[in-house]
Amino acid sequence: LDDVQRAVRWIRANAARYQVDPTRISAAGVSAGAHLAALLGTTDTRAHLDPALADYASRVNCVASWYGLFDLTQPFPSTPPNMEDQVTRFVGSNRSNTDAYRKASPITYIDPNSAQFMLIHGELDSTIPISQTRQFAAALQNASRPPILLTFPNEGHGILNSANVTAVRQQFLAFLKGC
């Protein structure tokens, strides 16, 4: 997270040089990448180690998330069989340290300053339950940051049907234009 936050701050610091609008920086991610993108959209800078970037925000303006993991405090499904182990290794602690799981969860940080979100999820996802996305969407709504929510009844952990891929692509491009 510190690395990508620093990258966002660097982009803002160099926006004029590269003709980038610093008010329209977005992040997108799939699965674990969606988790990281969501943290970019909900958290402020954690590490202020580079004085040259001190005046620049690291929170992105918009996030597109494909089947992301937003609340690590919740138990994980039995499939894939090693999901719980993967998350434990990622968090660096076992479930007894609930604070570590809470701190690693983007849902913890939702506030009225959170980015605009586009959330995409297949209802048949056996890796990341769609309940993760629905709960995250509800939390955004409660913070007056209503997301665009796209769910697909016949998709799993991936949007594979060509008509659905086309629909997501069109919505994604429209979302970015509006950010």
- Supply the residues annotated as catalytic: 31, 125, 157
Could you tell me how far CA 5 lies from the centroid of its own chain? Answer: 13
Query: Alpha-carbon distance 103 to 101, whole Å?
Result: 5
